[in-house]
Amino acid sequence: MLRKRLMKRIALLLCLLMVFSVLGGCASKEQTTQQGTPAAGDTIKLGFLGALTGSVANYGIPGQKGMQMAIEELNAKGGILGKKVEGIYYDNKGESSEIANITTKYITVDKVSALVGDPCTGLTKVAADIAQKNKMVIFSAGATGAGVVEIGDYVFRNTLLDTVAAPAVVDWMINTKGWKNLAIITSLNNGYSTALTPIFKEAITEKGGNIVLEDNVNDGETDFTAQVTKLKNAGADALVFTGYYTEAALIMNEAQKKGLNIVMVGGDGLYGQDLAKLGGTAVQEKVIFYAGFSTDQPSPETAKFLEAYRAKFNEDPDMFSAQYYDAVMIIAKAMTDANSTDPSVYKEELVKLKDYPGVSGVTTFRADREPIKSPVCLLTVKGEKFPALLEKIPVQAK
C-alpha cells in the first residue's frame, strides 16, 4: 500500500515537472530574443526618433504628429495583424548622445518592433549604427544625406535624396533663372550642411555655373555681418545656403539691413516654421528650398491626409509629418505582407516596395534600399502662407 502511494506521488511529481517544462518553454518563446527581435504579444510598439525640444524641434514635433495620426488610423482599422499599435515618444533634443541612449532603450527595454525617424542625417547615422548591430529596422522620415542606408540592411528612409534634388535645383537655377554666378555658405558644425555643400558644388560645376564665393558659419551664431559684407561684394546672382532655417533667417535679416537684394536657395534643412517667424519680410519670396512634399496641388491620398490632419491639429502638415505618417504606414504594410513583426522577416518586404502611393509622394525602393521620389517641390515664403509652392521639377533618379 505504501509502495503504491509512493509510486503515485512520484508519477504526480513527474507530470508537474513536465507541465512546468512546457510552460517554461512557451515563456521563453514569448520573451524577446537577442538582437532586439520583439516579444509576441497583443501590442506592436514603434519607437519615435526626433527632437521635441531644441534647435531641430521644428522637424520632430510635426513628425510626431504624423506618426500619432498614422497609428490612430491603423488601430481604428484593427491594428497590424490584429494587434494594437503603440507609439513611444522620447525627446532626443537633436543631440547625438541623447539619440544613442534612446535608441538603445527602445530596443533593449521597450522592445519595439521598429524605429521611426530621425529626420536629420547625422542623428540618423548614430541611431542606425545601433539599430543595425541589434538587427532592428530603422526607418528615417527625413535624412537626405549620403552614407545612411550603407550602414546596413536594416536601414531605410523615405525622403527625397539630396543627390537627386540638388542637381535638379541647380539646373533650374542656371538654365531657367539664369543665376550662373553663385555663392555658397556652409555651416561647419552641422553635418547636414557639410554633406550637402559638396553635392551643390559638383552640380554647379557640371551645369556650367561659377562659384564666386565660398564662406562658412556655425549653427548657433547670431552675427553674420562679416559673411553678408563679403557676399555683397562678391557679385553673386544667388546664394546657396546648405544649413538650417534659423541661421538662414538671420543671414537674410542681415542682408536686408545692408540693402542686399539676393535670393537664398537651399535644401529641406530650411523647412521649418521659424524661417518665416524669424525672417519676416527678409525671407518673403527670397528663400527657396526643395522638398518632396507640398500641400498645394495635392494627390487624392494627400488631399485626404490634409483634411484629417487639419481637423485633428488645426494646422497644415509639413514634409516631416507627411513622411513620418508614410513611414508608419509602409512599415505596417511590410509587417502585414510578411505576416510577421520580426524585423529580420518583414524587412525583406520593405525592400520590395514599389510605387507606394503615400501622402508624401509615390515611393519606390531601389535594390540598395534608397527611395526614388519625384517631383522636387520648390517652396518659399509667400505672405502668410508657409510653405508656398513655387514650382514642381520632375526628376529622373539614376
Domain segments of the chain as ranges:
43-160+297-365, 163-291+379-393
- CB of 264 within 8 A of CB of 252? yes
Separation CA 122–CA 341 (nearest Å): 27
Separation CA 323–CA 316 (nearest Å): 14
Separation CA 364–CA 160 (nearest Å): 11
Strand partners, 182: 211, 238
Q: Pick from 398, 368, 11, 388: which is nearest to 157 by CA? A: 368
Residue 396: per-residue pLDDT: 66
Q: Pick from 397, 343, 368: which is nearest to 160 by CA? A: 397
Instruction: Dig out the grid coordinates for 259 from the structure.
Output: 540693402
Separation CA 295–CA 353 (nearest Å): 24
Q: Pick from 211, 153, 203: which is nearest to 368 by CA? A: 153
Low-confidence ranges of the chain (pLDDT < 50): 1-7, 10-40
What secondary structure does DSSP assign to 289-333, as a single string? EEES--SSS--HHHHHHHHHHHHHHSS---HHHHHHHHHHHHHHH
- Superfamily name and number for 163-291+379-393: Response regulator (3.40.50.2300)
- CB of 231 within 8 A of CB of 255? yes
Instruction: Dig out the grid coordinates for 251 from the structure.
Output: 543671414
SS3 at position 271: coil
- CB of 136 within 8 A of CB of 46? no
- Sheet of 263-266: strand order equals 210-217, 181-187, 238-241, 263-266, 287-291, 376-382, 385-393
Separation CA 377–CA 243 (nearest Å): 18
Topology alike, domains 43-160+297-365 and 163-291+379-393: yes
Q: Pick from 24, 37, 93, 109: which is nearest to 60 by CA? A: 93
SS3 at position 2: helix
CA-based angle 359:362:366, to the nearest 5?
135
- Sheet of 371-372: strand order equals 356-358, 361-365, 371-372
Instruction: Dig out the grid coordinates for 153 from the structure.
Output: 540592411
Residue 1: per-residue pLDDT: 44
What is 43-160+297-365's CATH number?
A: 3.40.50.2300
